[in-house]
Each structure stands twice: as C-alpha cells, then as structure tokens.
Amino acid sequence: MSSQKRLQRAYKNAKRITFDDTSRFIVFSDCHRGDNSFADDFANNRNIYFHALNHYYRNGFQYCELGDGDELWENITFESIFEAHKNVYKLLREFHLEGRLHMVWGNHDMVYKDAAYVENNLSHYFEPIDGTDKELFEGIEYNEALVLQHETTQQEIFCTHGHQADWWNYVCWKVGRFLVRILWKPLQVVGIADPTSPAKNYKEMIRIEKRIKKWILSNNLKMTISGHTHRPRFPEPGQIPFFNDGSCVHPRSVTGIEIENGHISLIKWKIDTKIDGTLQVVRVLLEGPQKLADYMRAN
C-alpha cells in the first residue's frame, strides 16, 4: 500500500470532532514519554510540559495528541513510563474524564492500535500506597487520525501522526522497535542518535513532507496537521496548508499548535530567566494567530 493510500485510509477512518469559534484545542505530538532514564528525552522537558498542560486544562482546552506520546520502542511496558511521569498521566486523566482528551497513535506507540492492549494496560494502574488498582484511562480509544470539522463552515482539519508517509516506520515498525530497543537505546545514552528517525535524518524528513503535501494537493488542499518529523511548520494562507506541531523533546522547549476563537497559532513553551535570576516557564507565540477561514480554500 502506498503512502497516499495509507493517508487516505487514515482520513476515511478518522475520529470526527465538531467545533465552532468558541472551541479551544491544543495539539501536541512526539512527547516520547520514557522511564526517566538517561535515554528519556521527555524528562528534560517534563516540568515545561506539565506547566503547559496545566494551563490548557484550567483554560478549557481540548487536548489532541498526535502520536508518539509514549516511548514504547525503548521501553517494554507502559507501567515503567507511568511511574516515571505519574503527575502527567493524572492530569491527562482529568482531560479524559471531561471528554477533552483525543489520542492518536504513532509509530513509537503503534501498539495502541490494538484496543485490547489499550484496555489491558491503560485502564487501570496499581497504587502501592494502599495496594489497590485504581482507574486511569477507562474506556479510552486511540485512533489513527482525527478530523476537526467546523459545524458552521464545514471546514475540515485532518490531524494525524504522519508516519503513514514513512514506509519504514509504518510498515516495518516492529523491526525499528527491535533495533531501537536492543541497539540504539544503549548508544543514545552516550550521545549516538538513531539514524532511522526522520527527526535526525534531514533528507528523509524532506521526502516525508513531500508525500504528505502530495496527499494534500490531491485532496482539494485539505488543511492538515501532523507530527513525526519534529519540525514545526506553519504555512501562510495561499500556501499548501500543511502544519506540523513540532515536538515536546526540543532542547529546553516544547512546541504545539493552538486553535482558539477561530484562529490557529504555532506556540512554544520554554524556560526563561527573570532579571532577578529566578526561572519561569513562559509561552512564546511563534506564528499566527491566523484565521482558519483564511485556509477555507483548502476544503
């Protein structure tokens, strides 16, 4: 199956979410939450991410995670990841309980395409303090893609991880997982990067982006948001409407896409230093806000 057919299938089978100009969404991907070891890239940005997540929860945003949220190539079980970042998952649970959590699987957490695996591993967790099982993400569903559809204009925003355009990481993901788990994770500790990752391979990154753009062009320039390559993208109106939210494992920062009040923005959360030398986590606007209606020709 070609990358175009994989993307088309993801669009056809996507979870559909209606919204209006009062709706608020935050789109993150590629958190790669790990076990807090030296190979856990997320650990460096954990406090930044948690602060941002708190902000979005308090302000009524819906949370969309476009794949590779959990690093299940380097880590064998979700349990070790949960124990390392329990505060993050408990906050995500609050989104889930209020119907504001929308999860997509990517290549590094592709096991979540199996509903039985999700039910067995994410529904409950063991609490050693009182020796009981407690609910976590009971009834949660992972999807290959989301389609946000404006209830008035019918404008659609296709949201997926993007590895459908990456043959190796979609078709041969089990081989990639084996290589990362056995070979690259130990080498990562000493600073050697995984060459199969499009985030570390510029030429492959360009090829993947070209395939996604080709799908957009063949689908009436449908507005699309993806992750996977870790490279933020925010096109101007009139350009191919291909957005990328970046990742949560940039050096000392996380990037994402906000949709609020009928506008779309690319944002970054980072640690900044005050004049008195104390540190604070701040939100930085990178691109936008741009009216979604300015991309209406994409639908």
Please give the Cα distance from 200 to 197 (Å, whole number): 5
Q: What is the DSSP letter of 279?
A: E
**Per-residue confidence (pLDDT) for residue 44, from 0 to 100:** 93
* Per-residue pLDDT tens digits of the chain, which is 299 residues long: 799 999 999 999 999 999 999 999 999 999 999 999 888 999 999 999 999 999 999 999 999 999 999 999 999 999 999 999 999 999 999 999 999 999 999 999 999 999 999 999 999 998 877 778 899 999 999 999 999 999 999 999 999 999 999 988 888 878 888 888 777 666 665 555 555 556 566 788 999 999 999 999 999 999 999 999 999 999 999 999 999 999 999 999 999 999 999 999 999 999 999 899 899 999 999 999 999 999 986 44
User: What's the total number of domains in the chain?
Assistant: 1
Please give the Cα distance from 2 to 209 (Å, whole number): 15
Please give the Cα distance from 73 to 118 (Å, whole number): 16
Q: Which domain holds residue 79?
A: 3-298
Strands 145-150, 142-143: pairing is unpaired
**Per-residue confidence (pLDDT) for residue 298, from 0 to 100:** 40
User: What is the pTM (predicted TM-score) of this model?
Assistant: 0.92
Strand partners, 239: 237
CATH number of the domain enclosing 67: 3.60.21.10
Strand segments, DSSP code E, in 47-123 are 62-66, 101-104
Q: Are 140 and 96 in contact (CB under 8 A)?
A: yes
Hey, what's the torsion of the CAs at 264, 266, 269, 272, to 10 degrees? Answer: -120
Residue 201: both structure tokens together = 């391979």
